[in-house]
């Protein structure tokens, strides 16, 4: 599993300052509506609770632009449309993030 957390250096170099100092880049959040929450069995979760999420997405667009050479060359963005997803609100209880990831993706430790 890959962390989407953006380093402080990358935030300073690549992102415009914003009122919210986001650790994870724009577009890394999901907003679910009541029907989706019900369907995924996420009723009763609390803010801050970890939830294991797996899913399938369709690549809607891929864009690449030349960037300032001081910032490391071209930048690519990909837009994903989630089409199918499942979530386990009990996945993180009593386990570290690494243990949860290893149980979901055993090959990631090889």
pLDDT along the chain (110 residues), means of 10: 70 62 70 86 87 88 75 77 86 68 59
Domain ranges, residue 96: 31-109
How far is residue 89 CA from its own chain's centroid?
Answer: 16
What is the enclosing helix (H) or strand (E) of 81? strand 75-88
Q: Which residues contact 88 (CB under 8 A, 6 or more apart)?
A: 51, 52
Does a structural domain hold residue 57? yes
- What pTM, to 2 d.p., does this model score? 0.57
Average of per-residue pLDDT values in the chain: 75
Q: State the alpha helices, DSSP H only, in 1-110.
A: 8-14, 34-40, 97-104
Q: How far apart are CA 24 and CA 7, in angstroms?
A: 9
Could you read off the pLDDT of 57-76 as tens digits, one per residue? 888 888 888 766 566 677 77
Does a structural domain hold residue 25? no
For CA atoms 66, 59, 103, 27, give the dihedral sign.
Answer: positive
pLDDT of residue 37: 87
Does a structural domain hold residue 61? yes
Q: Give the chain's domain count.
A: 1
Does a structural domain hold residue 81? yes
Does a structural domain hold residue 26? no
């Amino acid at each position: 599993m890959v962390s989407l957390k953006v380093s402080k250096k990358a935030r300073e170099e690549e992102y415009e300052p914003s009122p919210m100092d986001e650790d994870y880049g724009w577009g890394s959040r999901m907003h679910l509506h009541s029907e989706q929450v019900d369907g995924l069995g996420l009723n009763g979760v609390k803010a801050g609770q970890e939830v294991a999420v797996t899913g399938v997405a369709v690549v809607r667009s891929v864009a690449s632009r030349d960037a300032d050479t001081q910032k490391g060359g071209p930048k690519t963005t990909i837009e994903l449309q989630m089409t199918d997803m499942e979530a386990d609100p009990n996945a993180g209880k009593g386990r570290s993030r690494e243990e949860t990831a290893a149980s979901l993706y055993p090959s990631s430790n090889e």
